Amino acid sequence: MPVYARPRMLCNRRKKLSAGRRAAPQFTRMRVMQDQNALVAIGASAGGVSALLEIAAALPGDFPAPICVVQHIGGHSSVLPELLQRRGPLPAVHAADGDRLAPGRFHVAPPDHHLLLRGDVMHLTRGPKQNFARPAIDPLFRTVALDWGARAIGVVLTGQLDDGTAGLKAIKEQGGTAIVQDPTTAVEPDMPASALAHVSVDHCVQLDEIAPLLRRLVGAASRTVTAAAGDGTLVHEVAIERGDISIEHLAAIARPSSLTCPDCDGSLWEMNDKQPLRYRCHVGHAYTASSLRHGQKETAENSLWSTVRALREREMLLRRVAAVARETGDPAQASAGEAQADRLRMQIEQLAAMARGEMNAEQA
Burial 68-104 (b: 16+ CB within 10 A, else e): bbbbbbeeeebebbebbbebbebebbbbeeeeebebb
263 part of the active site: no
Residue among 45, 78, 290, 291 flagged as catalytic:
45
72 part of the active site: yes
In angstroms, the CA 145 to CA 171 distance is 4
For 159: left if phi > 0, alpha if psi spans -120 to 50, otherwise beta; the answer is left
For 113-124, give the DSSP string: -EEEEETTEEEE
Q: Is 20 exposed, middle or buried (0-12, 13-18, 19+ CB in 10 A)?
A: exposed
Residue among 120, 147, 162, 163 flagged as catalytic:
163
In angstroms, the CA 124 to CA 96 distance is 7
Residue among 72, 198, 203, 285 flagged as catalytic:
72
303 part of the active site: no
The dihedral of CA 307, 129, 94, 195: what is its sign?
positive
In angstroms, the CA 70 to CA 140 distance is 8
Residues in the chain: 364
3-state secondary structure of 289: helix
308, 355 Cβ separation under 8 angstroms: yes
Give, for 77, the enclosing helix (H) or strand (E).
none
In angstroms, the CA 353 to CA 339 distance is 22
The dihedral of CA 290, 295, 298, 300: what is its sign?
negative
> Mind telling me the catalytic residues?
45, 72, 163
